[in-house]
Amino acid sequence: YSNSSIQCLTTSGSDSIGGVLFDEKLREYIQTQDSWKEFQNTHPSRRELYNEALLRQCIDAKVQLSSAVKATIVVGDNGFFFEIYRAKFENLIADVVNNAIDIMNEAILKVNLNRHEINQVILVGGSTQVPLVQKMIKEYFGRDIVMHTLDPWCCVAQGACMISHAWEQSDFNESEIKINGKRFALDKDLDG
C-alpha cells in the first residue's frame, strides 16, 4: 500500500492457523491434568457443559496472558481451579506460531523478496497480541517492524476502507473493481 494505491503481490495462508488453535491447545493440556479428570468424574452428567465452559475459560486466559504472567481458570462454581503461566502457554502454542511464521516466509519467497526488504508487518486478530507472536516476528525479521498504530481487531475493517477508497478512485461496475490497472471480480477475487 502506498500513495492510496493497493497492490497485492501474493497470498499465502492456512485455515488452520489462528487464535482458536491457541484456545484448543490450552484446553487439551488442561484436559490431560489429573485435577481435571477428577473434576469430570465427580460430575459425569455435566461433562459436555463443563468442557464448553473450559473452552470459554481458555479463551479468557489467552487474553489475560497477553498482558499478565498468570491466568486463572475456574469451571463449575469454583469446582475446578487451575493456574496457567504465560511461559507454559507459550510453550503449548509455539508450534502454531512457528507454522504462521513459515506461512509468512512462504509468501515472502513467492515474490522473490528477502525478509529484510519488508518494511512493516500488520497483525490481524486478537491473538496477535500474544507476546510470543510479536517476539517471533521480531526474531524472524531481526528487528521490530510490527505496525503498532493499527488495532489488530480493526485492521481488516481499515483495509476494507482502503479498498473502498480505491474503488471510488477507479472505473468500476457492479461486479468488478479496477485497482492499479488490474480488474478484480468482486464476487471471486475480493470475497464479495
Out of 78-92, 139-153, 172-186, pick the least confident. Answer: 172-186
pLDDT digits over 62-93, tens only?
999 999 999 999 998 868 999 999 999 999 99
| The three three-digit cell numbers of residue 151, written as one number | 488495532
Query: For residue 77, with 0-12 CB atoms within 10 Å meaning exposed, 13-18 middle and 19 or more buried, which class applies?
Result: exposed
Give the pLDDT mean for 143-160: 78
What is the residue-averaged pLDDT of the chain? 83
Q: Give the DSSP H/E element, type plus range, for residue 182.
A: strand 182-185
Q: How confident is the model at residue 166 (pLDDT cuts 50, 70, 90)?
A: low
Query: Do the Cβ atoms of 132 and 94 come closer than 8 Å?
Result: yes
How confident is residue 161, by pLDDT bands cut at 50, 70 and 90? Answer: confident
C-alpha cell belonging to residue 188: 471471486
Q: What are phi and psi of 72, to 5 degrees?
A: -115, 135
Q: What is the pTM of this model?
A: 0.75
CA-based nearest residue to 71, from 58, 52, 54, 55: 58
CB contact at 8 A, 19 and 100? no
Closest CA to 140 of 98, 110, 109, 91: 98
